[in-house]
Amino acid sequence: MSINQDKEFIEKIIHIRRVAKVTKGGKNFHFTALVVIGNMKGKVGSGLGKSNEVPDAIRKAIEKAKKNIIEINMNGRTITHEVYAKSLSSQVMIRPAGSGTGVIAGAAVRSVLELAGIKDVLTKSIGSRNPINVVNATIECLKFLSEPIKTAEKRGKESSDLDLPKQYYKNKAEGEINA
């Protein structure tokens, strides 16, 4: 089963940090690696690994990322609605965009969204630019995404009662054609 998962998910190293602990015998170095994995079809996860060697830190980060995979709701090539999320001092906003816009985002947010399979989206990162916090805030945003029809059912309304923009239906049709 692990062989299939290795082929199914694409791994991307976002950040490698060298940390020095100063002791009376000198400096002790260890490394942390931030890795994001995704299948480009709506599943994405992130993990942080720590070790005395870089390859071990990356391996641990990939294992943690596989345990933290989430599935997201998409509307064709974009997302269904605007979302905000915060992780410590980093805040991320993600907005749906029209077809052909592309991923307008910083490096850490872009990596997460591309590995999730989102093609058209606008983002803004506010506050700290620490890649670990930015990736965590982006994952939180993707967790908040919901399907408008399911939200209507929770509220006891029909899908025809929803005041959805025309772009929602347009992107849905484009996504089905392009998929």
Residue 178: predicted pLDDT: 46
> Domain spans of the chain?
2-70, 72-178
Lowest mean pLDDT among 54-58, 138-142, 153-157: 153-157
Predicted pLDDT at 175: 52
Q: Which token pair is 177?
A: 């054609």
Written out in words, the top-level CATH class of the domain with range 2-70 is: alpha beta
Taking 60 as the threshold, does the pLDDT of residue 170 lie above it? yes
**Out of 18-22, 121-125, 150-154, which region has the weakest mean confidence (pLDDT)?**
150-154
What per-residue confidence (pLDDT) applies to 56?
A: 95
**174-179, Cβ contacts within 8 angstroms, sequence gap of 24 or more:** 174/76, 174/77, 174/99, 175/74, 175/75, 175/76, 175/77, 176/76, 178/76, 178/77, 179/76
Per-residue pLDDT at 81: 85
Question: What average pLDDT is seen over the chain?
Answer: 86
pTM for the predicted model, two decimal places: 0.84
Residues 61-71 have pLDDT tens digits of: 999 999 999 99
Using pLDDT thresholds of 50, 70 and 90, give the confidence band for residue 161: confident
Q: Could you please state the CATH topology (level 3) that the domain comprising 72-178 is classified under.
A: Ribosomal Protein S5; domain 2 (3.30.230)
| Beta carbons within 10 angstroms of residue 94's beta carbon | 28
The rounded percent of the chain whose pLDDT value lies above 90 is: 64
Inter-residue contact 41 to 116 (CB < 8 Å): no
Tokens of 16: 């490698």
Q: What is the pLDDT of residues 80-125, one digit of tens each?
A: 888 999 999 999 999 988 888 899 999 999 999 999 999 999 999 9
Tell me, what's the pLDDT at 8? Answer: 85
